[in-house]
Amino acid sequence: MISDFTLLCFWNLISCTPTNSELMLRAGRRLPFLLLLPFLLLSILISFVSSSSSAERNDSGDGEEVRGDSDNDKRRVSLETRLEFAEEAEREIESEIIVDDENDESNDSNDDISLLYRQITEDLKPFSPNKVTREMSKRASIKYGTENHRAFAFAWVNDELYLTTRRPSQEFNGHHIKLFYEYFYDFCEVFGKTKVEEQEGIEDGTNGASKIPPMEMALSSFDYNPPDEERLPVLCFCRDKEFPEETGCILHPGFGFRHNRIDANVYAKREEFDREFPWSEKDDKLVGRFHMYPRLGRHAEVRARRNFVDWAENRTSLEDGFLDVKMFNKISLREHMKHKYILHLDGQGHSFQFEEKLGLNSVLVSEKKLFQTYFSQFLKPKTHYLEFWEDDSKPEDILEVLHHARTHDEEMQRVAKNGQRFAQKYFTKRARLQYYRELFRRYAKEAMAYEVDEKPENAIRICCPGQPCEQDDIDVKDYAEKNF
C-alpha cells in the first residue's frame, strides 16, 4: 500500500485548502516541493503497481482509498486523476515564480523580432483575406494624401518606389514635408534602393527587400488620427488604445527614429552610457523636460503635459522634493542619465521620446499609455518600465510609484536593464527594416485584392540616395543633405 508519508506529502502539494498548499505557497516554500514532485510521483506509481497486484488477489476493485486530513475525508481517486492534479499543481507553482526578463519570450534571440509580428496579424485582420480593392486604395490616397497635408501615398512596382500623391511642398505640407522625406529615406532602405549604412547585423540592399511584392499604401504622418467611418487602410505610428477599431490604422515604426537620431544618439552608445553612468552613482530624482504640446483625443483636456508639469512644480514638501519636472528648460541625454528615474509624457499623440528614453540605462516612468504603437502590447509595466496616472484626475499616484521604487532598488535596476534590452532588440534600424519588410510583404499578399503591375498614373519617382536622378524625380539625398 502507499505509505502514509507519501500520501501526506502528495496531498499537501495538491490540496486547495488554506491549511495546506496555500500556506506553503505564502510561506515561500514552493520551489522545494516542485523539486520533490518527480520523486513523489514515482513513489505513487510504484505503490500503485504493488497495490494493483494485491487488489487482483483480494478482488478489491480498480481504485484505492486515499486518506485526507481526517478520517471523515475519504475519497476514491484514480491514478490518472492524481497525475492530473499533480501536473496542475506544478503549473500553478511555476506560474507564481517570478523569472528574470532575460528568459522572457521577448529575449529568445537578439535577431528574432517575430514577437512583434503578432501586431501585424492583428492589424491586417480587418482587411484579410484580400479585402483591399483598388478603389479602396485610391480613396485612401485621396483622403489622406490629397485632401490632407499630413499624409501621402506611395507605390512599389517594377523595382521602383513612387509617390502617388502631390509633390511635397512647404506651402501645402508645412513642417510635415520634412517628415515625408524622412519616410522616403527610410523606405529607400526598406525596399533595398539604398545600401544601409554599415552596421553589424543589418540586412542591406536587396537582401530581404527583393521579396516584397508590388504594393501601394497611404501613410499618415499625423500624431493622432480621428475616427474614420470608412476605415480605409493607412499606415499610422499610433492610434487610440481604447478604440483601435475606429480607424483603418495599420501600425508601423514611424519617422521619429530618424527624426530624433535615436540610433546614433542612444542605441549605438549603450556600452558607453553603461560605463559612464553606472546605477550605483545615479541619484534618486525623477527628471523630465517637455515642450508644451496640447493633447489630442478623448483625454485632451485632463492629460495635457502642462497639467502634470504644473502639478509637479507645485510639490514643495521634502517628501516630494525628488521631482525635477519642468517645461522647456531642455537638458541633454547625459544629464537625464545622472538620475535613476526619467519621466515620460506623450505629446499630441504618442511621443518618440518613449523609444529614446527606454534605451537609456535608467528607469522610464511613463503615464499610462493612451495610444497604441506597434510594440506597446509587448511591453510590461513593472518589468520594462513603470506606469502611473491610472486615473485621469489623479496624477499624484506617481508618488506611490516612486516610493515603491526607492525602497526596492535592486528591482528597479533590473527594470532599467530590461527596458534597455527591449529597446536594443526591437527598436534598432535592423529590427525596424525587418518589421517594415514583413508588414509590406504580408499586406501585399494577405490584404490587397489586386496586383500593382505598372507605374500609377501621375506618379513621381522617388530617387533614392546612390541612384542617378532625373529632373522630375524626388531627390531624397539632395533634400536630406540640406535639411536633415
The 3-class secondary structure across the chain, one letter per residue, is CCCHHHHHHHHHHHCCCCCCHHHHHHCCCHHHHHHHHHHHHHHHHHHHHHHHHHHHHHCCCCCCEEECCCCCCEEECCHHHHHHHHHHHHHHHHHHCCCCHHHCHHHCCCCCCHHHHHHHHHHHHHHCCCCECHHHHHHHHHHHHHCCCCEEEEEEECCEEEECCCCCCHHHHCCHHHHHHHHHHHHHHHCCCCCCCCCCCCCCCCCCHHHCCCEEEEEECCCCCCCCCCCCCEEECCEECCCHHHCCEEECCCCHHHHCCHHHHCHHHHHHHHHHCCHHHCEEEEEEEECCCCCCCCCCCCCCHHHHHHHHHCCCCHHHCCEEEEECCCCCHHHHCCEEEEEECCCCCCCCHHHHHHCCCCEEEEECCCEECCCHHHCCECCCEEEECCCCCCHHHHHHHHHHHHCCHHHHHHHHHHHHHHHHHHCCHHHHHHHHHHHHHHHHHHHECCCCCCCCCCCEEEECCCCCCCCCCEEHHHHHHHHC
pLDDT at 157: 97
Gap between the Cα atoms of 3 and 262, Å rounded: 65
Among the listed residues 113, 79, 93, the one whose alpha carbon sits nearest the alpha carbon of residue 29: 93
Domain boundaries, the chain: 4-97, 107-253+430-483, 262-373+376-426
**Distances in Å between the alpha carbon of 228 and those of 175, 239, 247, 294, 295?**
24, 12, 5, 22, 19
pLDDT per residue as tens, the chain (484 positions): 444 444 444 444 444 444 444 433 344 444 444 444 555 555 554 444 444 444 443 443 333 333 334 443 333 333 443 344 434 433 433 333 233 454 455 455 678 999 999 999 999 999 999 999 999 999 999 999 888 899 999 999 999 999 999 999 999 999 999 999 999 999 999 999 986 654 444 444 445 666 899 999 999 999 988 899 999 999 999 999 988 899 999 999 999 999 999 999 999 999 999 999 999 999 999 999 998 888 888 788 788 888 888 888 877 554 556 889 998 888 999 999 999 999 999 999 999 999 999 999 999 999 999 999 999 999 999 999 999 998 777 788 899 999 999 999 999 999 999 999 999 999 999 999 999 999 999 999 999 999 999 999 999 999 999 999 999 999 999 998 988 7
φ, ψ at 226 (rounded to 5°)? -70, 165
Sole residue written with cell 517637455: 290
Beta-carbon contacts of 49 under 8 Å, excluding residues fewer than 6 positions away, are none
66 contacts 74 by C-beta, under 8 angstroms:
yes
Q: What is the distance of C-alpha 218 from the center of its chain? A: 23
Q: Checking DSSP bridges between strand 151-157 and strand 215-220, what pairing results, if any?
A: antiparallel
**Beta bridge pairs of residue 235:** 219, 250
pLDDT at 53: 42
pLDDT at 120: 98
Is this prediction's pTM over 0.75? yes
- The residue type found at 57 is R
pLDDT at 316: 58
pLDDT at 391: 79
> Per CATH, is 262-373+376-426 categorized as 3.40.50.300?
no
- The residue type found at 7 is L
